[in-house]
Chains A and B, each alone.
Chain A
Amino acid sequence: MTQTLTAPAAQAVGEKPRQKRLALVASKGTLDQAYPPLILASTAVSLGWEAGIYFTFYGLDILHKERFEHLKVASLANPSGPIQLPNILGAIPGATAAATRVMKKWMSDARMPTVPEFLDMTRDLGVHFFACATTMGVMGVEESDLIEGADIAGAAAFLDYAADADVSMFV
């Protein structure tokens, strides 16, 4: 006689529960917006989950070898930014650099890792980095422009990954 195990019974004989999965879209390339997906993904893996980030449009700069160390905070049209300036002054040369310096100092004073350090941490943890193929085509980004470990993929490949995710977010 064949015995069919129900899910709880199958677990009782030693099957581990499925690993949870986080699927994130990182669509922005400013310094302040690079942090949340990296924080969430590193936390997810620390919780025992697996995590993947789809870097698309300006978010692809976070994986760009020559850009990820130079992400900036906008001083213009950013009322929550680290320096509070009327837009007319936020547009003057040097204002974005000043806002960026202030945010980097905040992060450093709070002993937070830099974006390059966070990228190393998340890669070492095994976070999956998807690089949006369309963004690469539109913006003229080559595979050799990206940091090691980036997996070039389109929307269908990411959705296939995200379809099995327990938590999905767009940043």
Chain B
Amino acid sequence: MTDIATHSEPKTVDLEAFDLDCTGLLCPLPVYKAALVLNQLNDGDLLRLVTTDPGALRDIPAMAKQRGDTLLEVVEADGRQSFLISKGVVE
């Protein structure tokens, strides 16, 4: 899934990512839970989301696109997907 990742290192290295574990959850719950967290974050804050729903590989990029957030990284390994999202548009 490297075609989705724009770059592997977050630019804001001093910021910690908010962790959200959505393993074992199916659509729409990973998107629903991620949105609840993103709505509480400020622009530029980072969310690290882990899922096991194979549909999330399409859903989370679509969510970021529709919301206007920035998907920085997607890592898929051992049936788990990890997404790093920055709230808002990264300049």
What is A's interface to B at a CB cutoff of 8 Å?
20, 39, 42-43, 45-49, 110-113, 121
Contacts and interface: CB of A to CB of B under 8 A. Distances in A.
A43 B32 contact: yes
B28 A43 contact: yes
Contacts of A48: 35, 66-68
B34 interface: yes
Nearest to B64: A47
B71 to A, nearest CB: 14
Nearest to B36: A46
Chain B: interface secondary structure? helix
Given A39-B28, A46-B35, A48-B35, 13 more contacts: A39-B27, A43-B28, A43-B32, A46-B28, A46-B31, A46-B32, A46-B63, A47-B35, A47-B62, A47-B66, A49-B66, A110-B26, A111-B26
B25 A111 contact: yes
Contacts, number: 37
A34 B27 CA distance: 15
B24 A42 contact: no
Contacts of B36: 46
Nearest to A48: B67
Interface residues of B, number: 16
Interface of B: 24-29, 31-32, 34-36, 62-63, 66-68
Nearest to B59: A43
Contacts of A111: 24-26, 29
A20 B66 CA distance: 9
17 contacts: A39-B27, A39-B28, A42-B28, A43-B27, A43-B31, A43-B32, A46-B32, A46-B34, A46-B36, A47-B31, A47-B62, A48-B35, A48-B67, A49-B66, A111-B24, A111-B25, A111-B29
A83 B8 CA distance: 47
